């Protein structure tokens, strides 16, 4: 397919310079998020560097930047899912299907990171090799208009839910070990996270005037020339505001939104307790989803830090994020570069 | 020709012997035959006044420029000819519904003995005219509303607005046109438009919102147009089964380009010409005035017609073009050339020749196409002199090729690529001429040289001047 991922690119720190360098070249036309075409976001190096971040706990993680969604592509065939942490499961070399490939995602735009992070986390938890590709028009390329999406052989599947279904149909699933009650519970929590955290992120990006003016507009329009950058940014803002009104968030203030986020985090924190993952020893789709959202909230710089402060109040959530990041992104990045670079 | 009234020139001194006879024939519209012609030509006349009746909002200066020649006429025949030409020029401005010419002797105190007055009686067009059409075609029905404001500020400016509301797509366009007073061929126009198109051969949907400004001027026998255009293009997939190569092209882009076109047209008609030639050369440079699309594009069209014995016409045509992207970015699918279909290489599906991916045609960066046509009257000439004259039998041979440019191989390699694997076809059919705007063709065509991936059609085609309606 021609997309390349430098070894270790999935580690956010390593991804920073490469993704930044590549973004200038690969910036294709951007697709409007609203169109059912595919969209990509170009990552602009400037925006990437601006988004610094800091893990609250542990100074050595302080330089986790808002890495642009690297190119997502999975060369090679999918292996059997290895639930568990790095256990050497069987390798399904015999499988004829091709691996998921281009998972395009807007890189430096931080509100897109949750969607890439959670899918990436999920696919890595399934031990499926993926290659991550950044394109400016990823949104427009996607059949549903949402990023990320994966390109497997002839098929294009977008958004985490359908990706999970697709991967499950191919025989990989993280929640096979759960019973019916737990599965229902997992679904409920996933809905909670989607309704609360996702909407809060959108609100903060597009409905909070300070953030919009300083950060969002510039980033969203960065791949495009004048006057297209302004037109598309305003168009996107208008759409998001309309969506907010439709779901009843139109009149909420920032404090109310932060309050909702706090409550959501509290529920998650209580569920997590002292366990390593939400359903004890094994990561599930819920873990990938929560990790994606919390990681983004914690690592993206905004005009005010209240959102990340809310999350930082819950130390077990912080530890959870750190644990997943360490295990699935850093260690994998170092160890399996030979598989990825193809 | 309009109405020319000539009255007797009684106040003139009776120099000519036939003067009295002329007075009796004053009511006739046509000029007298040869017997009187030399007399009229011998008569020196001077056009003293030119009057205009019926002017409302039209300003004087553009009228004066158009009728300036009338004053230079030296005899009556010339007066009539120049008045006729002035009438044609006034009608060409597009601001009058009707123009009548009245030539009369000069009355009044300052009247010369051989003085003439020419009066133009004009009826201006209304300030606002509208039109409403419905259109059905290409699996879509649409309602088209048009508004025209002719002669907006009195100097033949024209504003037109067209709005098309269809079952699938909506488009609109607003345009402002202004000719230079006295020189109608030099004109300037500004357009604003939004156009949507669906291209099923590429599974692509394109929405263009743009603004363009153009200036046309003639140089000797050629007509030139210089244009700047800024377009916001939005590409999307037409269906979920679009190939990934087309998916990758989805998104927004902005093209800002300068183009120049030159046209020399000496044909006697644009539909089924009998003689003459056409040469169109067009070049476009995009990217240096903004936008994120950068290329240089050249294309040309050449057509030669020659009349042969037995009322037949032999016609050859040649098209070609090349698109060179500037910079690192590859060319966009919306800028590339397409080949195939009833207007280029008959026998192949519309735009279905050349590079393709999973059934979607991606277009190419260089192409050429040519055709040899022979038009003859219908065999046995049914309806000769009447309806049968609208039909022609048509024998044709079309060929063409399309490829991409992968620079690094050099131009020789590209020419070689264009010369191998040529697609061509031959066939015969009947052509019906519809007024001066369209032609209807019914052809039987045999495609040859079909390459892997092309879609050829062994069928009958109805072609309507640029639009084709497939008939199996």
Task: Provide ipTM, 2 decimals.
Answer: 0.73
Q: Is the pLDDT at A223 greater than 90, yes or no?
A: no
Q: How does pLDDT run across A35-93, given as a tens digit for each residue?
A: 333 333 333 333 333 333 333 333 332 232 233 333 333 333 333 332 222 222 223 22
Q: At what angle do helices A180-193 and A285-299 cross, to 10 degrees?
A: 20
**Which positions in chain B touch A143 (Cβ < 8 Å)?**
237, 240
- Model confidence band, residue A31 (pLDDT cutoffs 50, 70, 90): very low
Nearest chain A residue to B327, by CA: A25
Q: Are B105 and B120 a contacting pair, CB within 8 Å?
A: no
**Which residues of chain B have a CB within 8 Å of the CB of A231?**
232
Specify the pLDDT at position B467: 35
Interface of B to A at Cβ within 8 Å reads 232, 234-237, 240, 244, 247-254, 290-292, 328-329, 332, 358
Question: Can you give chain A as a three-state secondary structure string?
Answer: CCCCCCCCCCCHHHHHHHHHHHHHHHCCCECCCCCCCEECCCCCHHHHHHCCCCCCCCHHHCCCCCCCCCCEECCCCCCCCCCCCCCCCCCCCCCCCCCECCEECCCCCHHHHHHHHHHHHHHHHCCCCCEEECCCCHHHHCCCCCCCEEEECCEEEECHHHHHHHHHHCCCCCCCCCCHHHHHHHHHHHHHHHHHHHHHHHHHHHCCHHHHHHHHHHHHHCCCCCCHHHHHHHHHHHHHHHHHHHCCCCCCCHHHHHHHHHHHHHHHHHHHCCCCECEECECCHHHHHHHHHHHHHHHCCCCCCHHHHHHHCCHHHHHHHHHHHHHHHHHHHHHCHHHHCC
Residue B222's pLDDT is what?
93
pLDDT tens, residue by residue, A286-339: 888 888 888 888 887 777 778 888 888 888 888 888 888 888 877 655 443 322
Print pLDDT tens along chain B (472 aa): 455 555 544 444 444 444 444 444 444 455 545 545 555 556 788 888 888 898 888 888 888 888 888 888 888 888 888 999 999 988 888 889 999 999 888 888 888 888 888 899 999 998 899 999 888 876 778 899 999 999 888 888 999 999 999 888 889 999 999 998 878 889 999 999 999 988 888 889 999 999 999 999 999 989 999 999 999 999 999 888 888 889 888 999 999 999 999 999 999 888 888 899 999 999 999 988 888 899 999 999 999 999 998 889 999 999 999 999 998 888 899 999 998 887 788 888 888 888 888 888 888 999 999 999 999 988 877 777 777 778 889 899 999 998 888 755 677 777 787 788 888 888 998 888 887 777 788 888 888 887 777 776 655 555 554 333 333 2
pLDDT digits (tens, 9 = 90+) for A171-185: 887 777 788 888 888
pLDDT interval class at A111 (50, 70, 90)? very low
Tell me which DSSP letter residue B327 carries: S
**Chain A interface with B: residues with Cβ < 8 Å:** 25, 28-32, 35-40, 135-137, 140-141, 143, 151, 154, 156, 224-226, 228, 231-232
- Is the whole model's pTM more than 0.80, yes or no? no
- According to the model, what pLDDT value does residue B189 have? 96
Closest CA in chain B for residue A150: B244
- Residue A5 has a pLDDT of 34
Are B247 and A156 in contact (CB < 8 Å)?
yes
Beta-sheet pairing, B115-124 with B96-105: antiparallel
Residue of chain A with shortest Cα separation from B251: A31
Mean pLDDT of chain A: 66
**Considering only alpha carbons, which residue of chain B is nearest residue A226?**
B291
Is B251 close to A30, i.e. CB distance below 8 A?
Answer: yes
Name the residue among A30, A36, A135 with its Cβ closest to that of B236.
Answer: A36
| pLDDT value at residue B64 | 86
Say what the pLDDT of residue B190 is.
Answer: 97
């Amino acid at each position: 397919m021609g997309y390349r991922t430098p070894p270790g690119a999935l580690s956010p720190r390593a991804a920073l310079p490469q993704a930044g360098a590549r973004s200038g070249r690969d910036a294709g036309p951007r697709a409007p998020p609203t169109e059912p075409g595919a969209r990509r976001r170009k990552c602009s190096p400037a925006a990437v560097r601006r988004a610094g971040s800091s893990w609250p706990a542990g100074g050595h993680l302080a330089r986790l930047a808002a890495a642009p969604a690297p190119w997502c592509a999975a060369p090679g065939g999918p292996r059997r899912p290895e639930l568990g942490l790095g256990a050497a499961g069987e390798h399904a070399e015999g499988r004829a299907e091709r691996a998921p490939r281009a998972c395009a995602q807007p890189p430096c735009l931080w509100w897109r990171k949750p969607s890439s992070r959670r899918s990436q986390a999920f696919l890595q938890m399934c031990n499926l090799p993926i290659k991550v590709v950044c394109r400016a028009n990823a949104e427009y390329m996607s059949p549903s208009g949402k990023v990320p999406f994966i390109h497997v052989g002839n098929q294009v599947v977008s958004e985490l839910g359908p990706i999970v279904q697709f991967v499950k149909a191919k025989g990989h699933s993280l929640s096979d070990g759960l019973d019916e009650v737990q599965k229902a519970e997992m679904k409920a929590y996933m809905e909670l996270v989607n309704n609360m955290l996702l909407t809060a992120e959108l609100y903060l990006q597009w409905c909070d005037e300070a953030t919009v003016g300083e950060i969002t507009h510039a980033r969203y329009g960065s791949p495009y020339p004048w006057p297209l950058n302004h037109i598309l940014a305003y168009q996107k803002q208008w759409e998001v505001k309309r969506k907010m009104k439709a779901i009843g968030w139109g009149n909420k203030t920032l404090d109310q939104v932060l309050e909702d986020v706090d409550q959501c985090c509290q529920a998650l924190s209580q569920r997590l307790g002292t366990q390593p993952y939400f359903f004890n020893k094994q990561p599930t789709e819920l873990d990938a989803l929560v990790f994606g959202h919390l990681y983004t909230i914690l690592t993206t710089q905004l005009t005010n830090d209240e959102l990340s402060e809310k999350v930082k109040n819950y130390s077990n959530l912080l530890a959870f994020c750190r644990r997943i990041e360490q295990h699935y992104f850093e260690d994998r990045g170092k160890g399996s570069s030979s598989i990825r670079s193809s | 020709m309009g109405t020319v009234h000539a009255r007797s020139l009684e106040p003139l001194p009776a120099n000519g012997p036939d003067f009295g006879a002329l007075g009796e024939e004053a009511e006739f519209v046509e000029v007298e035959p040869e017997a009187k012609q030399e007399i009229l030509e011998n008569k020196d006349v001077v056009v003293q006044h030119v009057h205009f009746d019926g002017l409302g909002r039209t300003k004087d200066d553009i009228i004066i420029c158009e009728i300036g020649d009338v004053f230079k006429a030296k005899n009556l025949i010339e007066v009539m000819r120049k008045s006729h030409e002035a009438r044609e020029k006034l009608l060409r401005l597009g601001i009058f519904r009707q123009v009548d010419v009245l030539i009369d002797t000069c009355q009044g105190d300052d009247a010369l003995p051989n003085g003439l007055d020419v009066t133009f009686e004009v009826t201006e067009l209304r300030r606002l005219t509208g039109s409403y059409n419905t259109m059905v075609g290409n699996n879509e029905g649409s309602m088209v509303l048009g508004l025209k404001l002719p002669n907006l500020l009195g100097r033949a400016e024209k504003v037109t607005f067209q709005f098309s509301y269809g079952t699938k797509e909506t488009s609109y366009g607003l345009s402002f046109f202004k000719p230079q007073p006295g020189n109608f061929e030099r004109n300037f126009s500004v357009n604003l438009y939004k156009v949507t198109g669906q291209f099923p051969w590429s599974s692509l949907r394109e929405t263009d919102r743009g603004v363009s400004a153009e200036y046309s001027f003639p140089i000797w026998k050629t007509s030139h147009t210089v244009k700047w255009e800024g377009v916001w293009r939005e590409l999307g997939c037409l269906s979920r089964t679009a190939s990934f190569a087309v998916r990758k092209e989805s998104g927004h882009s902005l093209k800002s380009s300068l183009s120049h076109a030159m046209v020399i047209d000496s044909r006697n008609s644009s539909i089924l010409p009998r003689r003459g030639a056409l040469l169109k050369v067009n070049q476009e440079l995009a990217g240096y005035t903004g936008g994120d699309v950068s290329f240089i594009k050249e294309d040309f069209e050449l057509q030669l017609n020659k009349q042969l014995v037995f009322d037949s016409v032999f016609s050859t045509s040649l098209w070609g073009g090349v698109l060179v992207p500037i910079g690192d970015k590859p060319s966009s699918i919306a800028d590339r050339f397409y080949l195939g279909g009833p207007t280029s290489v008959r026998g192949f599906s519309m735009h279905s020749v050349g590079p393709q991916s999973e059934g979607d045609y991606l277009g190419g960066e260089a192409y050429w196409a040519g055709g040899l046509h022979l038009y003859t009257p219908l065999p046995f000439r049914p309806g000769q002199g009447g309806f049968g004259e609208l039909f022609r039998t048509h024998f044709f041979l079309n060929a063409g090729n399309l490829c991409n440019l992968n620079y690094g191989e050099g131009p020789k390699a590209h020419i070689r690529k264009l010369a191998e694997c040529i697609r061509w076809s031959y066939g015969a059919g009947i052509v019906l001429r519809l007024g001066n705007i369209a032609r209807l063709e019914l052809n039987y065509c045999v495609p040859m040289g079909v390459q892997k991936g092309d879609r050829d059609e062994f069928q009958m085609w109805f072609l309507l001047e640029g639009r084709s309606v497939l008939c199996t």
